[in-house]
């Protein structure tokens, strides 16, 4: 299998697996209910821009990112929008392309 490099904002990874590991580690350094730090939010914004449904996920604008529960007790990133709505997103979908 050919390695496919991935760029997320200022970060460059030689293969998708490295990018996924980086984002997974970021997710797991937060507890459920935490707001993501400004520095990590910049990376997540760049990652979300790569998501196949990026425009819909971003909506009218983003106030912040957080970590909340997903299905079956797992946790995931959530995008919190300026209109008060929020939606979960998969970091894996952001780097699948």
Distance CA 38, CA 4 (A): 28
Mean pLDDT of 66-91: 92
pTM score of the predicted model: 0.91
Between 75 and 1, name the one with better pLDDT: 75
Domains in the chain, CATH or no CATH each: 6-95 (3.10.450.40)
Question: Model confidence over 28-73: pLDDT tens digits?
Answer: 999 999 999 999 999 999 999 999 999 999 999 999 999 999 777 7
């Amino acid at each position: 299998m050919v390695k496919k490099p991935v760029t997320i904002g200022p970060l460059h990874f030689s293969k998708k697996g490295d990018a996924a590991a980086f984002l997974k580690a970021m997710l797991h350094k937060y507890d459920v209910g935490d707001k993501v730090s400004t520095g990590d939010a910049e990376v997540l914004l760049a990652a979300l821009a790569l998501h196949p449904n990026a425009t819909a996920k971003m909506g009218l604008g983003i106030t912040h990112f957080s970590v909340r529960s997903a299905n079956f007790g797992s946790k995931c990133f959530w995008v919190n929008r300026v209109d008060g709505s929020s939606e979960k997103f998969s970091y894996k979908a952001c780097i699948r392309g």
